[in-house]
Amino acid sequence: MAKSEFSNSRSDKQLFETPVLIVGAGPAGQMAALMLSYQGIASTIVERRIERSSAPKAHAVNGRTLEICATHGVDIDRIYELATPAEQGGFVQFMSTLSGVAFGHLPYERQDDAVREFTPYPLANISQPNFERELSNAVDQRPDISVLHGFTCTAIQQDETGVTASIDGKGSSAPLQVRCRYLLAADGASSRIRGMLDISMEGPEALQHFMAIHFHADLSTCVKNNPGILYFLMDPEVSATMIAFDHSDNWVLMHSCTEEEQDTALFDAARCTTLIQRAIGMQVTDIRVRNVNPWTMSSQVAEHYRSGRVFLVGDAAHRFPPTGGLGLNTGIGDVQNITWKIAAVERGWAGESLLDTYQTERKPVAEVNSAQSLNNAMKMFELFAYLYGNDPENAAERFNQAKREGSGSIALQQAIEAQRPHFDSLRLQLGYSYDEVDQRNELSEAVNISEYEPSFKVGKSLPHVWVNNNYQRVSLLQILPVDRFAMIAFSDHSEWQSALEQLNLPIYLLADGDSFMGVAAAWSDAPELADVSALLIRPDRHIAAVFAMTNESKLERLRGALTAVLFNSSLESAQEYV
């Protein structure tokens, strides 16, 4: 459906049709539209806001998210240009106040070049509005995506063939009825659609209440000796976190408050400026408060991700504590998972049952990320316990003593060091598995979430490796197509090729030439590939099957593997497709 078929100024209620309706133009919604477009599926996004929210919210966009962006038309160079430079954003600081005693610091995630062994893209610290703007620029390039701003989805009705959504326009815009085959609820943490479907959330709902105060100020002189992206300010009078999107201009103060205090009317510019001054710990002129947003920390995952033809994605499906920087990133993983599956069903490659695997694959990932984010938040209490002691009456005295000791105390350094996994979770970012059992094992305390080991097991994401492609050094992940399966054949190339030709499904075969030589050489020592003839890779880069070197029929093995994946392990009719 072309963009021009929609208009904000129609006077009567009209029924529009779109293959996929996406409710919400946040990161999850926009990325879903892009991915569907790359799979040849048109979509329409409805977004209740006319203007994008300026609240910076997320800052950590990790390597996996950037890998996905890079293969879907998002300008990665521009993202790095807009990101906080690693010299500024490469640390987390633990301080009394922003200008006070520095207790210690930790590196902030993998922004170093060494991480390029595991992903072509080190994590970027970019404010969410800037990130969303880059997604919008990519969306605008796709003629099969329509975006309607100022339109709110107010009701949905489902039947066997599709969903009808009622959409109210702001101001003079007339209401719409949109008929779609599938609806993606990307409408955020308070998802109205989740409520309409009566899907409950599992896990604690209100762990802590905050007012996020977004302000502009040049604090670069104040922090020049202690650069960082996150400042945990431990003075009991302050007890807040500051996020530095740009030291010389763009900051957020996360002020902890009670539920009753979470009222924007109580936070006028004067009060916010006082709170900011206190957090800085010295007088700073020219603080401009931009806006305040109440925010409640939860650690919840939706009971169901699917209800008929409606799928919850992003924060609509899970809301984590921000301690881990995993919310937005997990949402992008969700839409990568559901979009190729919708496309496979729509293109006649797969049965409807494939769509059930969205929940079985993505919910365990959210549960692990939610648990880890909560662990990170709880672990901070050990640091507070050290700084304030166990006796509330003597907390101020104990804290003053800690300030006098400064960064010199070994016990303090140990308490800070214990926070390291909070800020180094490469394994969670890259190493999650769509094998449910493997993924649930990630909850074990023995797992070190900082240690990512590339793996070739079914369910894992195909490891990144640098290859030569047309005289350019690129990641293998960038050259595999996003709209079909791929096969990497290490042996019996021509037999695999002829087996693929007998399938009624396009599959990209990587077997010869420069790129393949790079892959084969880089992985020649991998023990998991010792007796492997070929790997079958899904459009989302997760490993669908590992074929051993045996004499069994390649065609039958391929058919079996594809049937298991595309028809969720069953259905004889699968044979006619594969």
Ligand X SMILES: Cc1cc2nc3c(=O)[nH]c(=O)nc-3n(C[C@H](O)[C@H](O)[C@H](O)COP(=O)(O)OP(=O)(O)OC[C@H]3O[C@@H](n4cnc5c(N)ncnc54)[C@H](O)[C@@H]3O)c2cc1C
Q: Which of 322, 351, 431, 539 binds ligand X (CB under 6 A)?
A: 322
Based on the shown chain and the rule CB under 6 A, indicate whether residue 321 belongs to the binding site for ligand X. Answer: no
How many Cα atoms occupy the beta-carbon half-sphere of 353 within 13 Å?
Answer: 11
Which of the stretches 53-61, 358-366, 395-403, 478-486 binds ligand X when contact is defined by CB under 6 A?
53-61
Per the DSSP assignment, residues forming a β-bridge with 294 are 211
Nearest-approach distance from CB 375 to ligand X, in angstroms:
16
Cβ neighbours around 301 below 10 Å, total: 24
Q: Is 508 in the site for ligand X (CB under 6 A)?
A: no
3-state secondary structure 511-556: CCHHHHHHHHHHCCCCHHHCCEEEEEECCCCEEEEEEECCCCCHHH
Nearer to ligand X, 328 or 467 (CB): 328
Interacting span for ligand X (CB under 6 A) from 185-193, 345-353, 524-532, 537-545: 185-193
What DSSP letter does each residue of 39-80 carry, written as one string?
Answer: TT--EEEEES-SS--------EE-HHHHHHHHTTT--HHHHH
Contacting residue, 20, 35, 60, 486, with ligand X by CB under 6 A: 60
CB of 325 to ligand X, least distance (A): 3
Q: Which of the residues 209 through 238 are near ligand X (CB under 6 A)? A: 212
Using the minimum distance from each CB to ligand X, give the nearer residue, 19 or 24: 24
Does 19 engage in binding with ligand X (CB under 6 A)? no
Q: Which stretch binds ligand X (CB under 6 A): 41-49, 176-184, 538-546, 548-556?
A: 41-49
Which residues within the stretch 72-111 sit at the binding site for ligand X (CB under 6 A)? none
How far is residue 6's CA from residue 16's CA, in Å, rounded to a whole number? 8
**DSSP code of 372?**
H
Sequence letter at residue 154 = T
Residues 135-164 that bind ligand X (CB under 6 A): 152-153
Smallest gap from residue 164 Cβ to ligand X (A): 15
Question: CB atoms < 10 A from the CB of 104, how many?
Answer: 18
Stretch that binds ligand X, among 105-113, 320-328, 411-419, 529-537 (CB under 6 A): 320-328
**Residue number with CB closer to ligand X (58 or 234):** 58
- Residue 247 is a binding residue for ligand X (CB under 6 A): no
x/- track of binding to ligand X for residues 274-293 (CB under 6 A): --------------------
- Is 545 a binding residue for ligand X by CB under 6 A? The answer is no
**Nearest alpha-carbon partner for 578 in 465, 502, 525:** 502
**Nearest 10 degrees: Cα torsion 464, 467, 471, 477:** -30
Does 574 help bind ligand X (rule: CB under 6 A)? no
Helix (H) or strand (E) holding 307: strand 306-307
Q: How far is CA 432 from CA 144, 437, 554, in A?
A: 32, 11, 29
Candidates 25-33, 257-265, 400-408, 458-466 — which segment interacts with ligand X by CB under 6 A? 25-33
Q: How many residues bind ligand X (CB under 6 A)?
A: 33
Residue at 569: amino acid letter: S
Given candidates 48, 105, 278, 557, which one binds ligand X under the rule CB under 6 A?
48
Specify whether the CB–CB gap between 489 and 534 falls below 8 A: yes
Task: CB nearer to ligand X: give 153 or 350.
Answer: 153
Shortest Å, Cβ 491 to ligand X: 40
Q: Indicate whether 295 belongs to the interface with ligand X (CB under 6 A).
A: yes
**Residues with Cβ within 8 Å of residue 142, at least 6 apart in sequence:** 33, 34, 37, 73
Distances (CA, A) of 321 to 25, 176, 305, 326, 361: 22, 36, 20, 9, 21
Contact flag: residue 33 with ligand X (CB under 6 A):
no
Is residue 169 at the binding interface for ligand X, with CB under 6 A as the rule? no
Give me 160's structure tokens: 């066997």
Q: Footprint of ligand X on this chain (CB under 6 A)?
A: 23-29, 46-49, 57-60, 128, 152-153, 186-188, 192, 212, 295, 314-315, 322, 325-329, 331
